[in-house]
Amino acid sequence: MAIIGVANLAVKVSDLDAAIRYYRRAGGQVSGPEPWRDGRRADVELGPLRITLFTAALYEAQADLGDDAFLHVALFTDNLDHELEGHEPIWGPEVISGPSFGTRRVAFVTAPGAMRLELMEQIEWAAVDHRVTGRTRGRPLRLAADRRRGP
């Protein structure tokens, strides 16, 4: 029972189309944008770094966020309930689904440094999405040796 991987860094942007153009010019591979709850989202792969761009955060009502802001680090866990012990979630736990990441049970907690962590327990993976890399997106970042062993 532990944190088993980093999924992405989440950033709120007021102009999603401009942010997508920026990351494409920087050499990033971008999927989306796609509708997401009360806004839109897009996923960026910039080398080994994954960034998810949002126009609105799920926990917008519970946190003081500007129009453009770092939102959170998204972390995979194999036991969400265990990871939440001793924390007071600001949002969740709740099951969310999307075509680019599958189905997850997630919760957000505050962390030192005025930041938030998203704790995620994957329930079902998304289908392979060839728009970005030809592999299933959203899985935890792993070492090359781990990739040879399979998902």
> With contact defined as beta carbons under 8 Å apart, do 106 and 119 qualify?
yes
* Domain residue spans of the chain: 3-135
pLDDT tens profile 3-28? 999 999 999 999 999 999 999 999 99
Rounded Cα distance between 77 and 150, Å, is: 19
The Cα–Cα gap between 18 and 119 comes to: 28
Residues 96-142: tens digit of each pLDDT: 998 888 999 999 999 999 899 999 999 999 885 534 443 444 455 44
CA 70 to chain centre: 12
Q: Write out pLDDT tens, residues 25-74.
A: 999 999 989 999 989 999 999 999 999 999 999 999 999 999 999 999 99
pTM: 0.83
Query: Which residues 6+ apart lie within 8 Å of 75 measured at CB?
Result: 3, 5, 6, 7, 117, 118, 119, 120
- 3-135 placed in CATH 3.10.180.10: yes
